[in-house]
Amino acid sequence: MDLLDTLTAKGLRGEVPTREEALAVLATTDDELLDVVAAAGRVRRRWFGRRVKLNYLVNLKSGLCPEDCSYCSQRLGSKAEILKYTWLKPDQAADAARAGVAGGAKRVCLVASGRGPTDRDIDRVTDTMAAIKEADPAVEICVCLGLLSDNQAERLKAAGADAYNHNLNTSEGTYGDITTTHTYADRVDTVRKAHGAGLSACSGLIAGMGESDEDLVDVVFALRELGSDSVPVNFLIPFEGTPLAKEWNLTPQRCLRILAMVRFVNPDTEVRIAGGREVHLRSMQPLGLHIANSIFLGDYLTSEGQAGQADLDMIKDAGFEVEGAGEATLPRHRADVAEAAEAAAAAGGCGTAASACGSGGGCGPCGGHSHAPAGQSSAEGATAEEGADGNDELRSDLVKVRRRGAGTELAPNA
């Protein structure tokens, strides 16, 4: 079809599609799905070959968050029966990280619930990173601690952090519908702080919260304009005890279309299949590897994933290979941009390239797009996919709360 030919040609050249083309990907039919996957797969292989980067999550502090993000099992007022514990000690976190690295993970993601870190929290994470790096100096460390204050990103960078994760989650136009205790602008500010300090920006989205196709496209273009090096694509895990517990709006086919759209908009960027992979893609997970070049190994923050060995078997059986510690994830030209940003940050500059910021120079506000009304669903989402996974029902059979690994006496899943 002409659309896919155009998108493939643009992707192979590293060019960005129009918003209309991105929307058209989400509107394709199930009959066209394999063609969409094949087209996105050509773009993925052009920039990342058949490599799959493995990432491993360590939940440093679980639950009891003062923020009210509707999608989160750790939110204020959550009745989800998740693990709740305060900060892990550095050696405990290092032990958990070691299990992930032994399983093949190249990057360890250190996450803590809360609005944002105190200076004491930064000290805790600094000690934890030192313990992890002592065991394996080559491991990449991504930190996710919430909203950053001035100079905190610089402290994390100086302590050895490679990246900072802070997801935009959804479009600016609908952000207020899912969270009231902070704003979309707060999140953008934190991503810019991290990038400006020379940290690789890791920022993504959550699909399946009732958003429209326009919302999905808006947030993906916003992520590109922010210069995110890694785009995690989360699929909502509807935890019982949260406001979105009955939001079962996704099918495997829908998830693959979303991944393909993200790949076409970010042809040479790390696209990661993140939370909800097992819940929503299910038996079609291997097809996602033809689009994305990165996944999480094993369990997530508060939910269990499939066995780590099953992840490794899936990668091998699908004809892919685990990316080695000595291999660069991003294409050379992307790595050059990242290194230039890091050098600028070290010299006291902004650290964000004008082309990445999308504002024509400096670090001013990026241009926005028009948004669909809050809560509006796409035509496809309201017909073929509504109720496909039992909308208006709780699905505890698909959502399994994490009971092993960090914060427990049981071995982690890696």
- What would you measure as the largest C-alpha separation in the chain, in angstroms? 56
Identify the residue whose tokens are 């690295």: 101
What is the distance between the alpha carbons of residues 350 and 358, in angstroms, rounded to a whole number? Answer: 14
What is the distance between the alpha carbons of residues 97 and 372, in angstroms, rounded to a whole number? Answer: 41
What is the distance between the alpha carbons of residues 241 and 316, in angstroms, rounded to a whole number? Answer: 37
Phi, psi of 336 (to 5 degrees): -60, -40
Distant-in-sequence, close-in-space partners of 332: CB < 8 Å, separation ≥ 6: none
Q: Nearest-5° angle of CA 340, CA 342, CA 345? A: 110
Nearest to 328 by CA among 45, 12, 54, 48: 48
* Chain mean position to CA 409: 28
What is the distance between the alpha carbons of residues 20 and 369, in angstroms, rounded to a whole number? Answer: 12
CB 163 within 8 A of CB 202: yes
Catalytically active residues, by annotation:
65, 69, 72, 109, 142, 202, 272
Identify the residue whose tokens are 């934190």: 190
Phi, psi of 307 (to 5 degrees): -55, 140
* Chain mean position to CA 375: 22
Distances in whole angstroms, Cα of residue 255 to Cα of each of 170, 192, 356: 15, 28, 26
CB 345 within 8 A of CB 352: no
In 148-284, which residue ranges form alpha helices assigned H by DSSP? Answer: 152-158, 184-196, 213-226, 252-265
